[in-house]
């Protein structure tokens, strides 16, 4: 098969996902490595419901799906989105009349690609691979019509299978009883010769599993409300899953960001998850909001895209709107590094991202600055980092605003050492920003470095007038934070 043509850099790209439960349109914008979502809408057509009952797509479900697809086609024409990928999965694949339905989709001017079960599994796992650089383990993607399982090792996705365990099928399967349901799932795995090595990471994809993550986050009063990257230990997940199954009527009737249909499917998804934990024996569970659609999207990524750091790509694009350039932020980060070098692997890019966000936050109205910018760290979707790194970004941003007191929410996410280090980044950035105004000339004409027990700010003589009471106070605060004495030269 020929490789798909690369999408032009910066051009909006759309993916239409004709799934068994929902039909969704997502339009993605720049940057290529960490695309922003420009438009996202769905309709719950439940195409797979009739397939599960009698093998046919119902007229009602088809009409709902085709109406939404006609709307999507019109929206894309109005917004002049040229790059459009349309994929259809289990419902259209398994239905007796699936071919007739796809012909109607083509009549709308769309070109649907019907994925096989294995293709669906591999493409979804590819989306997870792009979301979690270096990911290793198992991807489980739960849709309305099927469950896909795939081995993943970096960008190598293999051994993909599709099982008839979608959320629209689970209620009927569970009606046989918990023991019979568990045996049925195990038998399906055995029939596909699918087994897993215990102790791996289990990456979970799909709206119903994200609903489970949101449920867990609300129960734990988690400081972050984005389920992407949320991690659970197997025993904690199993306890929550069994409780959700046992007390299904007490499941919350509403959860922010989730539809009623997703919440209704939570007990069924929890029951399946409990069996998967027992069968696969993972070391940890990681929930991913990236999956099939992102796998389709990145199949057309330009050369070299995979080598880019998704956090730096995302933050750089985000701060550009505030007039902060990545090159200026890199100069500021270089100015502060001698005084407070990162002490852990992978922290260099995190420190650069923190510097960019600190500089952008300085342009926010002072009364809103600390809280608003901390929300960037904790609530905006960043790709390639987890909760501890989000907490470090927030700690740096708060310190850049002069706030270094302990924050309980951050202490739940990261160790005190990590937060302390990040505060040092924020304090040093604040000093640089106040002293140089964030200008390349000011940064190049001065330096900050350790000299024995002193933290020394060295200034070119003709710029000595930039040193005022505020600069001296910031220097003193950075030095005290690092256990050093402030000095000016």
Position 287 pLDDT exceeds 90: yes
Q: Which CATH superfamily is domain 13-114 in?
A: ATPase, nucleotide binding domain (3.30.420.40)
Position 256 pLDDT exceeds 80: no
Q: Is 46 helix (H, G, I), strand (E, B) or coil?
A: coil
Contact 50, 58 (CB under 8 A): yes
Q: How many CB atoms within 10 Å of residue 301? A: 19
Position 192 pLDDT exceeds 60: yes
| β-sheet with 446-451: strand ranges across | 446-451, 454-459, 485-488
pLDDT in tens, 98-108: 999 999 999 99
The model's confidence at residue 258, banded by pLDDT at 50, 70 and 90, is low
Determine the Cα–Cα distance for residues 150 and 204; give it in Å rounded to an integer. 11
pLDDT in tens, 371-404: 888 899 999 999 999 999 999 999 999 999 989 8
Average pLDDT over residues 347-360: 93
Task: Please check whether the two domains, 13-114 and 118-294, share a CATH topology.
Answer: yes
Share of the chain above pLDDT 90, in %: 76
Out of 3.40.30.10, 3.40.640.10, 3.90.1300.10, 3.30.420.150, select the CATH number for domain 118-294: 3.30.420.150
DSSP string, 277-302: HHHH--SEEEEES-SHHHHHHHTTPP
Residue spans per domain, the chain? 13-114, 118-294, 310-488
| Architecture field, domain 310-488 | Orthogonal Bundle (1.10)
**pLDDT at residue number 254:** 59
The model's confidence at residue 247, banded by pLDDT at 50, 70 and 90, is low
Q: Please, what is the average pLDDT of the chain?
A: 91
pLDDT in tens, 199-239: 999 999 999 999 999 999 988 899 998 999 999 999 999 99
Share of the chain above pLDDT 70, in %: 95
Position 2 pLDDT exceeds 50: no
User: In Å, how far are 195, 212, 383 from 121, measured between CA atoms?
Assistant: 15, 21, 21
Average pLDDT over residues 359-368: 88
The torsion defined by the Cα of 301, 306, 311 and 314, in degrees rounded to 10, comes to -20
Position 7 pLDDT exceeds 50: no
Structure tokens at 51: 């397939």
**pLDDT at residue number 252:** 58
The model's confidence at residue 9, banded by pLDDT at 50, 70 and 90, is low
């Amino acid at each position: 098969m020929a490789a798909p043509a690369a999408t032009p850099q910066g051009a909006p790209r759309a993916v239409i996902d004709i799934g068994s439960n929902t039909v969704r349109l997502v339009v993605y914008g720049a940057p290529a490595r960490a695309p922003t979502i420009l438009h996202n809408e769905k309709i719950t057509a439940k195409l797979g419901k009739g397939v599960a009952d009698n093998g046919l797509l119902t007229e009602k479900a088809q009409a709902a799906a085709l109406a939404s697809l006609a709307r999507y086609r019109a929206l894309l024409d109005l917004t002049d989105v040229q790059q459009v990928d349309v994929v259809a999965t289990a419902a259209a694949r398994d239905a007796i009349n699936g071919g007739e339905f796809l012909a109607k989709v083509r009549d709308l001017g769309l070109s649907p690609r019907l994925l096989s079960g294995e293709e669906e599994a591999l493409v979804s796992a590819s989306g997870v691979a792009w979301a979690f650089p270096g990911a290793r383990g198992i991807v489980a993607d739960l849709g309305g019509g099927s469950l896909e399982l795939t081995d993943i090792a970096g960008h190598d996705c293999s051994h993909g299978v599709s099982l008839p365990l979608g959320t629209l099928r689970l209620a009927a399967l569970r009606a046989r009883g918990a023991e019979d349901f568990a045996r049925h799932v195990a038998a399906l795995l055995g029939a596909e010769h699918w087994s897993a090595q215990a102790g791996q990471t289990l990456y979970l994809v799909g709206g119903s599993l994200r609903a489970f993550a949101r449920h867990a986050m609300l129960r734990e009063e988690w400081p972050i409300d984005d389920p992407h990257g949320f991690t659970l230990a197997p025993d904690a997940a199993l306890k929550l899953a069994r409780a959700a199954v046992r007390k299904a009527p007490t499941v919350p009737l509403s959860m922010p960001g989730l539809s009623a249909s997703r919440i209704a499917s939570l007990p069924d998804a929890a029951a399946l998850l409990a069996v998967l934990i027992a069968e696969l024996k993972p070391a940890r569970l990681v929930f991913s909001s990236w999956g099939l659609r992102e796998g389709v999207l990145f199949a057309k990524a330009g050369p070299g895209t995979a080598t880019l750091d998704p956090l730096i790509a995302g933050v750089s694009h985000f701060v550009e709107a505030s007039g902060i350039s990545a090159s200026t932020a890199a100069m500021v980060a270089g100015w502060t590094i001698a005084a407070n070098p990162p002490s852990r692997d992978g922290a260099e890019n995190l420190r650069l991202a923190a510097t960019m966000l600190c500089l952008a936050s300085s342009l926010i109205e002072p009364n809103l600055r600390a809280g608003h910018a901390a929300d960037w760290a904790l609530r905006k979707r960043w790709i390639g980092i987890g909760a501890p790194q989000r907490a470090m970004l927030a700690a740096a941003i708060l310190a850049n605003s002069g706030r270094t007191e302990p924050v309980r929410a951050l202490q739940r996410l990261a160790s005190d050492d990590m937060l302390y280090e990040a505060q040092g980044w924020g304090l040093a950035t604040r000093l640089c920003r106040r002293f140089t105004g964030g200008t390349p000339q000011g940064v190049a004409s001065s330096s900050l470095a350790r000299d024995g027990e002193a933290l020394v700010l060295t200034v070119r003589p003709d710029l000595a007038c930039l040193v005022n009471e505020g600069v001296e106070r910031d220097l003193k605060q950075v030095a005290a934070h690092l256990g050093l004495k402030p000095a000016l030269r």
